[in-house]
A and B are shown apart, each in its own frame.
Chain A
């Protein structure tokens, strides 16, 4: 996607990206000649389509993490997680977080545990040999 300042016949340059948090995206482009700025505003569906491709408007400053989309975008359900357990899970690297969450979830389900707490995580870690998770 490119933007043209018709008056100047100049390709506009990407300037800024904003994610308001409501599923929309705002990206601004500036004409290098006259300084005019335009904003591209996408609705949630359009924003999601771009996200679905695993690319970022404005470019990436760091490479994508492993399993970025699977970890962040796939809905997982299972036993409830206490706030402490969620916090601990958040310290697990993103690229294995989804898998680790599933392992703890399976462990809890097999034992009829309805809420995963740090204590449950400790027990599971010891039983399953998951040191470091």
Chain B
């Protein structure tokens, strides 16, 4: 009896073609995005969303990009944020971005953002219609598809940078690699503790193995009760810069003076839509 690959007639369902069409759609919507950076950490509660939101606002306030006004060195960089934390979206609150009828929403300092939080009623968890029994079988795929839509069904327009605010762990990162067709550059957030160091190390190794460019590490919540030197240790281990130590209650200047390595080689272009 012949096997699957020996049956060469086209499948009328064209499932592979449908998946490819989804990828082309994402690529088309991101065609005007110069740089995609995932903000990730293997550890929860380190302030990824906080860092992402303030980083986005800081970049939007600075000149030197294509600019929201469209000119080189214009009013500021055009910045977008995708809140990839579907189950705990906080970016709309951090950017004070109300839902827009036609996403993306516009938040503080003109940062564009898209979030599942714009679709959910306040205080309600993300739930999908469907059979409740053994929902673990399909829920992951459903979340990945929802993430694809939040990324690829949005008119992002021309952006200097799109930040992806990832939830803890590496699952969402892996999904984004598939959706984007290429691994995004990664900026890692940790807190000083050894526990955080160990969890973040795993995530950085996963990103490295997948082919992501590691841009650097931001050590958050520095100077309080949290003891350790996770930022320095990870920076030395991976040979990447420790971009910043962010204290508790940082002033605006902390963000505006970050020397961010965000403009090296452009990301691998998507296949033409």
Query: Could you tell me if B138 and A48 are in contact, using CB atoms closer than 8 angstroms?
Result: yes
A59 with B14, Cβ < 8 A, contacts A70-B119, A74-B120 known: yes
Query: Could you tell me if B122 and A11 are in contact, using CB atoms closer than 8 angstroms?
Result: no
Q: Is the interface of B mostly helix, strand, loop or mixed?
A: loop
Query: Could you tell me if B153 and A95 are in contact, using CB atoms closer than 8 angstroms?
Result: yes
Residue B259 at the chain A interface, CB threshold 8 Å: no
Query: Which residues of chain B are near A45, meaning CB under 8 Å?
Result: 131, 133-134, 137-138
Chain B window 1-22, contacts with chain A (Cβ cutoff 8 Å), 1 for yes, 0 for no: 1101001110111110011011
Query: Which residues of chain A are near B118, meaning CB under 8 Å?
Result: 99, 102
Query: Which residues of chain A are near B15, meaning CB under 8 Å?
Result: 1, 53, 55, 57
Query: Could you tell me if B12 and A76 are in contact, using CB atoms closer than 8 angstroms?
Result: no
Query: Could you tell me if B153 and A73 are in contact, using CB atoms closer than 8 angstroms?
Result: no
Query: Could you tell me if A75 and B127 are in contact, using CB atoms closer than 8 angstroms?
Result: yes
Query: Could you tell me if A2 and B4 are in contact, using CB atoms closer than 8 angstroms?
Result: yes
Residue B236 at the chain A interface, CB threshold 8 Å: no
Query: Could you tell me if A58 and B141 are in contact, using CB atoms closer than 8 angstroms?
Result: no
A56 with B18, Cβ < 8 A, contacts A45-B131, A74-B127 known: yes
* B contact residues, range: 35 or more
Query: Could you tell me if A109 and B99 are in contact, using CB atoms closer than 8 angstroms?
Result: no
Please tell me which stretch of A60-68, A83-91, A111-119 contacts chain B, meaning at least 4 of its Cβ atoms lie within 8 angstroms of it: A60-68
Partner of B99, one of A6, A55, A103: A103
The total of chain A residues at the interface (CB under 8 A) is 49
Query: Could you tell me if B101 and A13 are in contact, using CB atoms closer than 8 angstroms?
Result: no
CB distance from A93 to the nearest CB of B (A): 10
Partner of B138, one of A49, A56, A58, A67: A49
Q: State the CA gap A70–B138 with chains docked (Å).
A: 15
Chain A window 75-108, contacts with chain B (Cβ cutoff 8 Å), 1 for yes, 0 for no: 1111000000000000000011011101101100
Query: Could you tell me if A4 and B131 are in contact, using CB atoms closer than 8 angstroms?
Result: no
A to B CB contacts below 8 Å, 18 in the list: A2-B7, A4-B2, A13-B9, A45-B131, A45-B133, A51-B130, A54-B22, A60-B14, A63-B21, A67-B149, A73-B146, A74-B127, A75-B128, A75-B129, A77-B124, A98-B119, A99-B118, A109-B121
